[in-house]
Structure 1
C-alpha cells in the first residue's frame, strides 16, 4: 500500500528539476541519480504487481511481496534523504558568508563528497539487490501477465467544501420521527433525543439535518449550540465549548465547574435552546449526571440531541436526566439497503443508458458497503472519477485481507477507497495519522506540512493551490470534514484559515495504513516500552503531561509533533541525532528557549513554536536555510533576529498574536520567497518599514487588530501578487492611498472597523479581480469613490457606516 506510494513519490523527485536545484554541487553524483531513476522506471510495473500482491490472502508469495516492498521503501527513503541532503548543503554553500568556516564544519565540501560517495555506493548495491529479488521471486513475469490498471494520474474534479447540503438516503422514517420530536409548541418539558448507531451510519448527518432546519413556528429556538464531544471526555471542556458556541466568546481555560455553571445558567435563563452533543462516548453515571445538571437551565421546549455509538449512553441519560429532562426512546440507525447504497454511489452525471454495461458491477460493490453510508460515499467518489468497466471491476475484486475490522466491514470498505487514490494522495492521507484522534486539524498548517515532506510537487507559488485540491479530494471522499462554513476555493492560494476533522473510523484507517511509519503515545502507555519503532518516520508525543524525563528520539524520524507535553524538559542536544527531520512542532511543549540543536537541523522545513513562552530568538535561527514554514504565533516575542532575512526559502510566516512585537528588522525585506504573512493582533506594531514592498511574491497579508498601525508604506504598491489583505480593526489607520490601485490580483479586502478612514482612493476601483470588500463600521467613512460601480465585487459590506452618503447611482444599478 504505502510502500508503493512512497517509491513512486521518490521516483518522481528524481527529475532534471531536482538536479538543477542542487546547482554545481552534484560533482559526479548526477550519473548516480540518473542510474537510480532508470532502475526505478524499469521496476515500475513490478512495483504495481507487488503492491497488489501484498494485499493478498497470506500466501508465501504475498509475504515475499510484502518483504520486497519493505526493502524497496527503505531504499527509496535513503535516496530522498541523499537528494535533500545535497540540496540542503548546496543552499548552505551558496549563502555562507564565510568559506573559511566551511573548511572546519560538517558541511565542508570535501567531507560531504566522501560521505555522499559512500551513501551512493550503498544505495546502488541495495537497488541491485532489489532488482535481483524481483527476478528471483518471479515478480517480472508475473507482472507482465497482470492486467492491473495503473492509471492513477487522473484529472481532478473540484469539490466545494462549503456548508454541507444535508442529503440522506433511506432515512425518511427517522427524519419524520425526529421532526415530530423537535416540534416545540406546547411542550411541557425539556427533552433529550439520543441518536444511536455504529460509526459511519450517519448519526452526525442526522444531527446536522436537525441543526440546520430553517426557523419556523414549529422549529423555533432562541439559542443553538453544536458541541463536538469525542472519546476524550472532559466536562469542563464540554461546558466551556457550549458557552463559547452560545455567546461567541473564546472557550474559558482552567475555569471551575461552579463558575462555568453560573455563566451557562445566565445564558440559558428563560431561553428555549437546541444543543447538539455530537459523538458522546462517556458512560459513567456520575459524569453524565453532572453533565445533565449543568444543562438544566432554560425554558420548557428546549432540546438536547446526543449522537453516540453506545446504547448504554442513551439508557444512562434516561435515568440521570429524569428529574430535569424527558429522554425519548433512542433513534437507532441501522444499515442502509444495498439499493440505497447504490443510489449514493451511482454517478449522478451519467444516465442509466451510459452505464448499463457495468451497472451490475456497481451493485456488487454496493453490497460490499455493508449498509454504511460513509463507505458508500467514499467508494462512490472513487467510482465517479474512474467510470469505466475495468476500473469498477478492479474495485470490486480488491483483496482487502490485511485489516482487523470489528465494525461490519467499515474499515475494509474505506480501505478500498484508499487503494484507489493516486500515490501522492496516499502519502498525504497516511501523514494525517500523526494528528490525535478527534482533534481539529488546521487547514493551512496541514498543507504546509505536506509541502515540507515533499508530498506536493509543483512550481513555486503553486504548491498551496495543489494542496487545496488535495484537501478537496479528501472532502469529496468524506475522509476529511470541514468544521466551518467557509468555502474552499482552488482559485486562491490562501484564505482565512479554518479547521478540518477526520471521522474516527477514517482516523483508524490512517493509523492502519501508517503502521510502522508512525510511533505515538497518548499518555497511557509506558513510554519506555512504547519506544520500539526506532525506524519510524513520524512521531507523536501526545498528552504526556506527567512526562518530564527526556527520551532519545528515533534517528530517521522526519516529523515530530509534541502535544500537551507541559512538563517535558528538553536538553540542548535533544535533536542532535535527528538529522533528517523536516517537521518539528513544539507547540505542545513549555520551554522558554528552543534547544540549540534545533538550529543544526539543516533539512528542517517546518518549525512550529507557537504559544511557547519565548521572548527572543537567537541569530543562529538563520542557519535553518531550508526553512519554508515558521509559526511563532502567540509567543512573547518582542523582537525578531536582525538577520532573519537570510531565511530566503521561507514562504509561510505566522506571527499572529505576538502582542509585544513592535517592529520588523531591516533584513525582513529580504524574505524574497514569502507568500503568506500573518501579523494579526501584533498590538505594538505601529508601522511597516519602507522596504516592505520588496516582499513582491506575497499573496496573503493579515494586519487585522494591529490597532497602533497608523499608515502603510507606499512601497506596498509593489505587492503585485497580493490576493488577500486584511486591515480590519486597525483603528488608528488613517488612510489608504493611491498605491492600492496597483494590487491588480487583489480578491479580498477587509477594512472593517478602520474607524479613522474617511475616504477611499479612486484607484481602488481599478481592482478588476476584487470579489469581496468589507467596509463595515468604518464609522467616519463619508464617500465611496465615484466609479465604485466599475468593480465586479460579489460582496460589499457597509453595515455601520453611519456617515456614508450619496451612494452612486452607477453602483446601485450595477
Structure 2
C-alpha cells in the first residue's frame, strides 16, 4: 500500500486520495447518512497528520515513542482496509463497463490490482459498500487520534533530522548472463582458472565420476562474484565447449519447481504451463540428456536442504560427460553441499579483494564519469586515499565513485574521506555504510522510490516502463509545473538518477530495458582489529549475522555483543580459521556468544574447543530448527541435541575426535530423542566407533532423510523410523541394516516410507535381506560392497514401486536358488563388476520386462548379451550402454531391441580385435543383401558412441541406416561404406582422438544431411576433401601445421572448402584442459 512503501513525503497525499475516492463512491452509489461530518473531520485532521509525518523517522519510530508507533500501525491497517475495498469497487466498475460494451479495459489495470474478486453478485456488491462505510469510519477514528502526538513531534524533529538510520538498504536482485561492464578489471587470473577448469577434458572411461561437475565462486557480498561469472559465461572458449548454456539466478528463495521452470525457460527460450513437478523434471531430462551443458547458479544461499538440492540436480545428472555447474555464493557450506549431492569432481575459488591499482581503476571510472580525469589531478590523489580504505571491494569502489561524481570538489571529497569512510573496513557492515551514505544523499522523493522496491521479492527484476508505472500508481512521482512534462518522463528521470548512483543497473542488452539491484550483508572480524562488538550491539533489528575469524576474539569481547538480547536474530554463523588459541579460550568465547531463544538457524565452524557450549542442547534455544557443526577437530562429546524440540535439520561434519554417540546425545529431559528432526547428515567422523540406542525408546519419530558418510569404524546405526524416505550409507563400516520401527501414533498397516536407498563402500556388510521390508522403494544403489553375498532378489518382485536399481562392484554376490523376476515397475538397471555368473543371471532375469528403458553393463565379465528371447521381450528399451565389457565377443540379440535409440559401446576389447571371423565380416558383395534383410533391425537408433569403428563390423550394427549423431573415440579411418548407409540421416560426426587419422573419405560431400564435424588431435591429416554444403560447424583442435596452412583464410589451398561454414574453428593446439564434446 502507499502508506507502507511511499514514505512520509507522500503518505498524507495517499490518504487524501483514498478519502476523496471513498466519498465520491458513497455519494454516487449509496445512501451514506451522516457521513458529511466524517468527511469534514478527516479533511481537517490531515494537515496534522502531515506535521507528524514530517517530524518522525519512520525507521526509528519504535525507539522514539511506542505509543506513536502503535498509532501508525493502526493508521496503516485502516488505510489498507479502505484501499482494499476501493479496489473491489473499481473492479466492479470496470467489469460493468466490459459487460455493457463500454470502453476497452487495459490489461495493465488488472496487473496492478492486488485484490482480485473472482465471484461477484449484487448481494456481494451491497456488502462491499457496507464494508467501505465501515472502513471510512475506522479511518476517521484513527486519524482524529493524531492530536495527542502533535506536541510530541516537536521534540523529535531536531534529532530525527540528523539521524542516519542503521537498517540495511537492500534492493531487488535478479542477475543475468550479460555483463554490464565490457571490461572486467582485476580478475584475469581468476577468470582463466575457472575457464580452464570448465573446458578441461573429463575421462569418459571413469564411470565413478559423475557426468556433471561443479565449480563454486565463494566470496562476501560486493567482491564481484556475479561479474566474474558473467565474464566466464561469455568467454568464447566456454561457448564453444558446450551445447547448452543456462544462467539461473537462485537468490534466497530456493524453490525447486520454480528453479526447474527457469531451467526449462533457459533451454527452450519460452515458458511452460506445466505444473506437475515430475513432468517438469522430465522436460529438463529430455532436453539435456543428449547435451553437454553449462549451468550457472548465481547468488546461491541454500546450504541446508540437501533433499531439495538432490531434486533440483536429479535431471541434470542425465547430461553428457563434461557437463558443468558454475555457482556463486557467499558461503563455503553451499559449495560443500553441492559437492556431496553431485558426488563428482568439484572445486571452489575464494574471491578476495582486488589489488589497489585495479580498485583505483574501478573507482576512477565512476568518480570521473563523463569527465576527463586529467583535469582533476588534485582529486585523483584524494581518490587514491579513499580506495585504500575500501579494502579491495569493487562494489564499494563503484558506489563511492558514483557518490563523489556528484561534486567534483576537493573540499567535498576530503570531507567524505575524513568523516564518512575513515573507519570502513572490508566487511558487510562497512559496505552497508557506503550504501547508506549514498542512500541518505538522495532527495526524499528518490528515497521513497527506492524504498518502494522493497515490496518485491529479492529476485524480482523490473522493466523500465513497469517500474515507472508502479511509482506513478503509488503517488511517488512529483508532478512538474511544466505541463508539457509527463509523469512518465519524470519517472524516467528518477530512474536515471538512481541508475547513475549505482542503485540500479541497466542490462547490457539495452533493448530490453531491464534493471537490477544489489543486496549485501556479512561481518568479518579483521585480524588484530579486535571484536566489533559495539557495531553489532547497535544493530537492534539484526536478523542474519555471520561472524568470521573468531580466533581474534577473547572471552570478554564476546560478552560485549549481547547476542542474547537480539530477539530478532534468526540466523547466526560463527567461524574460526587457523586458530592458535588455547582450547579453553575458545570454549569461553563460544559460551559467551549465547544467542536469544528466538534463534532458528545456527552454524559453528572451525571451533577448537573440546566441549560444547553450555547453552547448546537445552531449553535456552527452543526455537532452533537448523544446526550445522563442522571442522571442530577437538570436540569429543556431542551435547544433548535430542532435547531441542524444534530441530529439523542437523549436520555433523568433520568432527574427527568424536568416538562415541551415547544416550546423552538424545537427552534425558522431555522432550528428547529428536522429536522434530527430519534431516540428519553425519559426514567424516573417522574415529566414530559406536552409536548407541536408547533401550525401550523410539528415536527420531519424524525423520525423513539420513546420510552417514566417511565413518569407517562405525559398525551399526540405531533402528530408524518407518517415516524415513531417504537412506545413504557411504564409506561406513556397517555390518547390518536394522528393520524400521513404527513411531507412536502411526497405523500398524502403514508401510515403511523409504523410497531411495544408497549403500556404497561398506566392506563389512554381508547381507541386505532386510530390503524386503521397504515396500516403498523406488531407487536402490548398492555399490562397491566387496563382501556382500546376499541381496533378497527373490523378494524384489514384491517392491511394486521400484524404478531404478544399480548393483556394482559386489563380486561376492551369490545367485538365489529360486527363479525370480524383477518388478514390472523397473525402468533403469545398472549392472557392473559383480562376477560373470551373477551378472548373466541378473540380466537374464529381465525376460518379459516390458517397462525397462535403460540398461547399463559396466565392466561385466559376461561373454554375450542377454539371449535373443530376453532382448526380444525388452520392447521399451531405448538406451543401452556397454562399457569395458572385455569378454563380450559379439552383439547377437541386439537386433531384437526394436525401440533402441541410444547405444554406447566403449572399451570392449574383443569387439575391436582384428581379423573378425569370416562369418562376421562385412563383405561388400553381401552388403545390399544384408541391409535389405535387416532394415527392421535397430531402425530407430539415432545416437551411437563407439570406441573404435571396428565395432561396426558386427551384426547388427553393420546394417544400421538411421544414425543421426555418431561419436568415435579413436580411429585410423572413417567407415566410408557405413557412413553412406546413414547419409540420409547423419547430422553430426565427432572423433575424440584423431591422432591416427590420415585423411577423410572422398564421399564426405555426399553426406547431404551432415551439419557438424568435430576432431581433436588431427596430427597426420594434411588436406581436406570437398565437404557437404549442409555443414554448419567444423572444429579441428590440435591441427597438423600443414593442414592449418592449407585452411588459412583467403590464401590457403583448402580455404574455399571451408569458407562457407558459419561456425569454423581450426587451431594448432588443443586448448589447455579442453573437454571433449560428446553427442551422447
Q: TM-score, normalised by structure 2?
A: 0.34
Which structure is richer in relative contact order (CA contacts within 8 A, separation 6 or more)?
Answer: 1
Which has the greater radius of gyration? 2
Kindly indicate which of the two structures has a greater share of residues assigned to strand. 2
Q: TM-score, normalised by structure 1?
A: 0.43
